[in-house]
Amino acid sequence: MIKHHGNNHRELSLAHGTLHVFANDEVFASLEQRVYDMADNNLRIPRNVYMSYTPDAHVGVGTCIGTTAVWNMKDGFVSPSIVGSDIGCGMRVHLTPLTKADIQSKSLRREMIESIEKYVPVNERQSSSYSDIEVEKVVTEGIEGLPVSYIPDEKPSKKSRSLTHVEHAKFKFDKDYLSDVSDKVWARAWQTIGTLGGGNHFVEIQTLEINEAKRDIAAKWGMFDGQVVVMIHSGSRAWGGMMGKQYTRDFRNAMDLWGIENPDPTLVYAPIQSAEGQRYINLMYSALNYAVVNRHMIAFGVRQGLKDVFGSALEMPVLYDLMHNYALQEFHRNRAMLVHRKGTTRALPAGHFLNAKPYKETGHPALIPGSMGTASYIMVGEKAGEKNFYSICHGAGRVRSRKATKQVVTIDQFAQSMRVGTEEEIMVNQRTLRDILDECPQAYKDVDQIIDSVVGAGLASVVAKCHPMAVIKGI
């Protein structure tokens, strides 16, 4: 049974609970039955408070990407499957003083790409070059654990923009749980700080098109029409990867001992207050620290590369950094709740107490990537987002698997979507499009329809549309 609330909001009664779906008619009609089967499996987890899909929802492991799921801290559950394997994966945007006209030359954009690649490892076989960064300080202190030399603000301090213009610069947790981490993981984690990673991770050079209705907010954020910005998408790399595998096994073993069954063997969960739940939550927070530092250090490398091209005076202040794969304790309805967001982005409105201090007045930037070759968006949350625990989409969302994409999309189609051979070509770092075919725009939903769904639901508004000019992908 479907209950229509209007404004792209539907409430579906499934066998084991209620699922809210935020999507316009076109996107809703495209959702396959399997996403509802996965939702029903998730709703078998006891005492669920709320569960929803954003319009970019698509099948994942155990849980769909695009899921928000909430339990009370007092008697609820935590699920690594509803966090995702890349814990802390998220977005970061930096502003520059450059304009589109400054980088219109294709040869200059190629130079920018090559210069950035000198500082940002994009191949899985490459390791980090930051030998003076201590992993233990990174996972316990977040950005605050970095040497001062990597905080590029004029006066590194507690008021540094690098520490204030982020969703969280540091997550606190019980450090005793770090004793469970193997020496192998510690060593590998050191090698991946400041590295991009493969899959859908990227560094993208974009230009802004400001939404006239939000021009005042854009100005307060330091944004203007035609401005060049840098968008970064990456996560917790080796540190989070370790947890995804290890603790899925631990949870599955515990569920077997407790006699808990679910039709989906890849969906694991445990009570928040259990030993397994507490171990996972605490180490998950360590991975969130690693993830925000990793994006910070990728941005540091991008800055160095662009300084080599445009001169040492170039400034590249961070606009915002946020996550879209995590479970976070938040206060809603006067209660402490654990809000899982797997491929969903928190978008707080103006005045909300959880906003980072610089964004209390306006609400913070919500960073929504498109797909290579299409626009991305910078949004701001609206008060009506409260109905969805202030969650919006995290991107376009895949419409077909990597394998299926390679089977149905041709190189010529990919090249056409990237406008190869024209003056408006979107430059890429990979020497052949075949290497990144599974990440082509045709692999994803129409991002404009996704944004239309979110705006129509009243969850958030567009502040700026970001047009790609150069893309750096990892392999």
Mean pLDDT across 280-305:
97
- Cβ proximity of 363 and 380 under 8 Å: yes
* Structural Rg of the chain based on CA atoms: 21
Cα–Cα distance between 409 and 393 in angstroms, integer? 25
| Residue ranges per structural domain of the chain | 2-399+444-473
The lowest-confidence range among 158-162, 347-351, 463-467 is: 158-162
What digits encode the pLDDT tens for the residues 1-60? 899 999 999 999 999 999 999 999 999 999 999 999 999 999 999 999 999 999 999 999
Q: What is the dihedral of CA 218, 223, 228, 233, to 10 degrees?
A: -60
The predicted structure's pLDDT at residue 64: 97
Mean pLDDT across 175-191:
90
Burial of 351 (0-12, 13-18, 19+ CB in 10 A): exposed
Share of the chain above pLDDT 90, in %: 83
First-to-final CA distance of the chain: 44
- Please indicate if the annotation marks 233 as binding a ligand: yes
- Please indicate if the annotation marks 8 as binding a ligand: no
What digits encode the pLDDT tens for the residues 313-325? 999 999 999 999 9
The predicted structure's pLDDT at residue 158: 60
- Please indicate if the annotation marks 371 as binding a ligand: yes
Model confidence band, residue 157 (pLDDT cutoffs 50, 70, 90): low
Residues 6+ apart with CB under 8 A from 26: 449
The predicted structure's pLDDT at residue 152: 87
Q: In whole numbers, what is the pLDDT of the chain averaged over residues?
A: 94
Is the pLDDT at 401 greater than 90, yes or no?
no
Q: Cα dihedral sign for 400, 403, 406, 407? A: negative
What digits encode the pLDDT tens for the residues 204-255? 999 999 999 999 999 999 999 999 999 999 999 989 888 777 788 889 999 9
pTM: 0.96
What digits encode the pLDDT tens for the residues 51-75? 999 999 999 999 999 999 999 999 9
Superfamily of domain 2-399+444-473: tRNA-splicing ligase RtcB (3.90.1860.10)
Please identify which of the residues 9, 58, 394, 467 carries the catalytic annotation. 394
Is the pLDDT at 431 greater than 90, yes or no?
no
- Please indicate if the annotation marks 202 as binding a ligand: yes
Q: Is 264 left (phi over 0), alpha (psi -120 to 50) or beta?
A: beta
The predicted structure's pLDDT at residue 441: 87
The predicted structure's pLDDT at residue 43: 98
Mean pLDDT across 265-273:
96
Burial of 400 (0-12, 13-18, 19+ CB in 10 A): middle
Confirm whether 364 is a catalytic residue: no
The predicted structure's pLDDT at residue 156: 55
Share of the chain above pLDDT 70, in %: 99
Mean pLDDT across 78-96:
96
- Please indicate if the annotation marks 86 as binding a ligand: yes
The predicted structure's pLDDT at residue 312: 95
DSSP label at residue 402 = H
- Please indicate if the annotation marks 321 as binding a ligand: no
Cα–Cα distance between 96 and 318 in angstroms, integer? 9
Q: What is the dihedral of CA 147, 149, 154, 155, to 10 degrees?
A: 30
Is the pLDDT at 424 greater than 70, yes or no?
yes
Residues 6+ apart with CB under 8 A from 80: 243, 244, 247, 248, 251, 268, 269, 280, 284
- Please indicate if the annotation marks 204 as binding a ligand: yes
Mean pLDDT across 94-105:
98
Q: Residue 382 — φ and ψ, nearest 5°?
A: -115, 160
Cα–Cα distance between 50 and 1 in angstroms, integer? 17
User: If you write DSSP's letter for every residue of 87-124 in order, what string do you get?
Assistant: TT-EEEEEEEEEEGGGG--HHHHHHHHHHHHTTS--ST
Mean pLDDT across 131-138:
94
The predicted structure's pLDDT at residue 187: 87
Q: 143-156: buried (b, 16+ CB within 10 Å) or exposed (e) per residue?
A: bbbbeeebbbbeeb
The predicted structure's pLDDT at residue 462: 98
- Please indicate if the annotation marks 356 as binding a ligand: no
